[in-house]
């Protein structure tokens, strides 16, 4: 199980817990004190990320697409910040 915490400069804290299979995310939980609306999107996102490669650029793309498609609002953390924290959690041996 890999874990990481990332405090966004001038923003909020993201915490990621994930298990990996090779270079793929097997299961992931993203918590923290950021704002995402609609809130239930976090559960969608976690499902979408299961089976997704640990590739920072692809993770940013996936999150940006999801936010655009669902007309979602992120405050205190950006898709880039989430991707960074996911990569950090994926990197510690998970």
Partner 1 sequence: MAEEWRLVDTGLCDAFHNMALDEAIVVARSKNLVPNTLRFFRWQPSAVSIGYFQSMEEEVDTLACDRRGIGYVRRRTGGGAVYHDTDGELTYSLIIDENHALISEDFQKTYETLCSGLVLGLSRLGVPAEFKPINDISVQGRKISGNAQTRGMNVVHQHGTILRKVDPALMFTLLKVPNEKIRDKLIRSVQERVTSIEMLLKKEVSFDDLKGALSSGFEEAFKVKLVEGETLEFEEQLAAKLKAEKYGTRQWNFKR
Pick from 1, 21, 33, 58: which binds partner 1 (CB under 8 A)? Answer: 33
Which residues from 49-78 bind partner 1, rule CB under 8 A? 73, 75-76
Burial 24-44 (b: 16+ CB within 10 A, else e): ebeebebebebebeeeebbee
**What number of chain residues touch partner 1 (CB under 8 A)?**
19
The span from the CA of 89 to the CA of 74, in Å, is: 21
Reported residue count of the chain is 94
If binding is defined by CB under 8 A, does position 23 make contact with partner 1?
Answer: no
The span from the CA of 26 to the CA of 33, in Å, is: 24
Quick one: which H or E segment has residue 83?
helix 79-91
Pick from 1, 21, 23, 37: which binds partner 1 (CB under 8 A)? Answer: 37
Segment contacting partner 1 by CB under 8 A, of 6-14, 20-28, 62-70, 79-87? 6-14
Residues that bind partner 1 (CB under 8 A): 11-13, 15, 29-39, 42, 73, 75-76
């Amino acid at each position: 199980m890999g874990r990481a915490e990332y405090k966004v400069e001038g923003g909020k804290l993201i915490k990621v817990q994930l298990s990996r299979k090779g270079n793929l995310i097997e299961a992931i939980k993203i918590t923290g004190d950021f704002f995402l609306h609609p809130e239930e999107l976090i559960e969608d996102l976690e499902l979408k990320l299961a089976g997704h490669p640990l590739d920072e650029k692809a993770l940013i793309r996936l999150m940006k697409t999801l936010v655009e498609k669902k007309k979602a609002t992120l405050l205190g953390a950006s898709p880039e910040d989430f991707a960074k924290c996911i990569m950090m959690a994926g990197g510690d041996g998970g």
